Chain A
Amino acid sequence: MSGTKPWLDTRLPALESFRAFFAAPVLPRERPYLATLPVLITGALIFQVLSGLVLSLFYNPADAYNSIQFIDRNINYGWLIHAFHETGTTMIFGAVFFSLFRALWLRSYKTPGEVLWFFSVAQFGLLLLVGYLGYVLADGTVSYWSLASTVSGAFGLSGFPGAIGVWFFGGADGAGTLARLVVFHAVLALAVFGILFLEYLARRGAEPKVTHGVGLHPYYTSQYFAAFVVFALIFAVLVFFAPHLGENPLNRGPADPLVLPVAVAPPWFLLPVGNVGHVFPGVWGTIFAVLARLAVLVALPWLDRSAPGKPAGFLHKLLLLVLALDVILLTVWAMQPPSLIGEVVAVLLTAYFFFHFLVLLPFFSALEAR
């Protein structure tokens, strides 16, 4: 066996750097379990790709709903692969939201973490798009009407954005649209891996240099494995006992062009970002609202005027908890049927969201810096 290593090494020199990557003592001597989140998200995405691959073998965009019923009822373990893919979405967005909140809590977007933060927000935005496309592909009642309103909105836009919208959907909603959205869903999901890699590169720049560190193997491989197992445990509880968590039950019924459901809500993970259709009216309102939220997040390193390297104070953390409560309330409110008081509350909560980032945060962080 001792002869094998040099034999492979001379023919595949990259093996040397591969081994060095796992052994190099460049990692800190202590890192909390929560820091494994980016790797967990990557692993969960790989799992999504695998389950999505198996589903795509049987999915038929020309008869989407029935093909999914066929998967659930006739393919061996089809129901389980489908549940993996659905619950995987819930787990990934749960982890991503938690990860973003943790970055806000630890202020890891401050110098030198701006590029890392930007890639995190970009990854979040891309995942939202991938998730929305996946939701639409299910072709249930709510998915169908959500797509119908999005396509008619896109076709109703004028100018360059309208051209993009028309180009993206390529026609009225129907079999042809779903066929191309399947491909977009898969390609954009793979693009997320590219952003994950860029994030990894940025993270290496953002973390302080470590002297006398420990190697990836076995210290962090064991930590990642333990974190994965706990993540898998939560995933298993959801996938086997509550596979349709957060899904609108109406969406499990077939789409009927002649029946308009009372409320057409997007999937739960879009609610914190996209639940502002009533607040900012019209198609432009929705586009503006989503982009504004993402833009405010991207601008965060410059909105936060505290000194870099200082841990967050009590006031900052309190404000963050209020912000989290605000977002959760907005999400819950978006699930309720529309009502007048609901609109008023939504406007107030949305206003507070922007108020936090554009007014409270700069003011109080500048105070803290002094």
Chain B
Amino acid sequence: MRRLLIAALALAVLAAPHARAEDTLNPPRWQSEGVFGSYDIAALQRGFLVYQTVCAACHSASALHYRDLDGIGFSTEQIAALASGVKLASGPATLDDIFKNPYPDTTAAAAAFSGAIPPDLSTIVAARPGGTKYVYRLLTGYAAAPADMTLLPGHYYNTAFPGQQIAMPPPLKDGQVQYADGVTASAAQEASDVAAFLTWASDPNLDASKEIGLRAVLFLVFLSFVAIATKRKIWRESV
């Protein structure tokens, strides 16, 4: 743990010229949280890079198509290039293909993981109590098991997972990916970014919803004043 911190600090110092604007790791927070929050596109793109590099090897995301990635700021050419790098059974992936499922069916997945099939990540943030924070805590929650706990074979101790024993090995390490925007890729940063990406994957329309919602609520507040005033005027004129 200590070495991790020193390494992270060293990387932070080295990366100082490219330092990010504010520290979103202590405490962990995301720009999409809150009533007026919106997705941080840079974080989503970094998170997608982590997802493609690390998570996509074992997890499927069958509700997502590659063309949906224009929602995190990629151009059509970038997505087409990205997709063509993904090898499906029928050849290179195209824009209209679903995110690659690493296993052809659940039987193959169960065989590869002794029954602990990696869940589909399309709606994982929405489908777990705690959402984004839960995913972040899970990814950063690996620790040494306490002395009084015997781990099941093939399982790891995780502070966030219900039951504290998870079959997924710690997926993230420092420097596992190279971020294009120069942000230091510490394990915690990778976890925060992939949690942001998975939040977007669960709810791609969150920004649009809040934007339309703000306009709708303001308009309806105005209209309610007008409507109530009209009703009172109509009643006063004769009753």
Contact = CB atoms under 8 A, between A and B. Distances in A.
Contacts of B63: 66, 69-70, 73
B174 to A, nearest CB: 31
A124 B235 CA distance: 33
A83 interface: yes
Interface string B6-20: 000000000000000
Interface string B69-83: 000000000000000
A35 to B, nearest CB: 13
Contact of B234 (A219, A240, A244): A219
Given A79-B205, A226-B230, A253-B123, A219 B129 contact: no
Contacts of A266: none
B239 interface: yes
Contacts of A153: none
A252 B205 CA distance: 15
Contacts of A80: 205, 209, 212
A253 B235 CA distance: 51
A222 B231 contact: yes
Contacts of B209: 79-80, 83, 240-241, 243
Contact of B210 (A29, A222, A240, A252): A240
A230 B202 contact: no
Interface string B194-208: 000000001011000
A271 B125 CA distance: 25
Interface string B121-135: 011101111010000
A222 B238 CA distance: 14
A240 B212 contact: yes
Contacts of B238: 214
A59 to B, nearest CB: 15
Interface string A247-273: 001111110000000000000000000
Contacts of A225: 227, 230-231
Interface stretch (B51-59, B138-146, B217-225): B217-225
A240 B217 contact: yes
B230 A222 contact: yes
Contacts of B68: 73
Nearest to B201: A73
B228 interface: yes
A83 to B, nearest CB: 7
Contacts of A246: none
Contact of B123 (A83, A233, A236, A252): A252
B239 A219 contact: yes
Contacts of B28: none
Among A222, A225, A232, A243, chain B packs the most CB atoms within 10 A around the CB of A222
Interface in A99-114: none
B213 interface: yes
A46 interface: no
B227 A226 contact: yes
A30 B63 CA distance: 54
Contact of B224 (A74, A229, A239): A229
B239 A29 contact: yes
B207 to A, nearest CB: 11
Contacts of B21: none
B122 A250 contact: no
Interface residues of B, number: 38
B127 A250 contact: yes
A204 B47 CA distance: 61
Contacts of B223: 229
A153 B216 CA distance: 45
B59 to A, nearest CB: 13
Given A79-B209, A240-B209, A249 B220 contact: no
A89 interface: no
A309 interface: no
Contacts of A219: 234-235, 239
Contacts of B239: 29-30, 214, 219
A233 B65 CA distance: 35
B10 to A, nearest CB: 39
B120 A254 contact: yes
B124 A253 contact: yes
A60 interface: no
A237 interface: yes
B210 A241 contact: yes
Contacts of A240: 209-210, 212-214, 216-217
B220 A232 contact: yes
Contacts of B217: 233, 236-237, 240
B35 interface: yes
A77 to B, nearest CB: 9
A334 to B, nearest CB: 16
Nearest to B233: A222
- Per CB-CB distance, the 8 closest pairs between chain A and chain B, nearest first, are A240-B213, A253-B127, A226-B227, A222-B231, A252-B126, A233-B220, A69-B63, A79-B205
Interface of A: 29-30, 66, 69-70, 72-74, 79-80, 83, 140-141, 214, 218-219, 222-223, 225-226, 229-230, 232-233, 236-237, 239-241, 243-244, 249-254
28 contacts: A66-B63, A69-B122, A69-B123, A73-B64, A74-B65, A79-B209, A80-B205, A80-B212, A219-B239, A226-B230, A226-B231, A233-B220, A233-B221, A236-B220, A237-B217, A240-B210, A240-B213, A240-B216, A240-B217, A241-B35, A241-B213, A249-B128, A250-B127, A250-B128, A250-B129, A252-B123, A252-B126, A252-B127
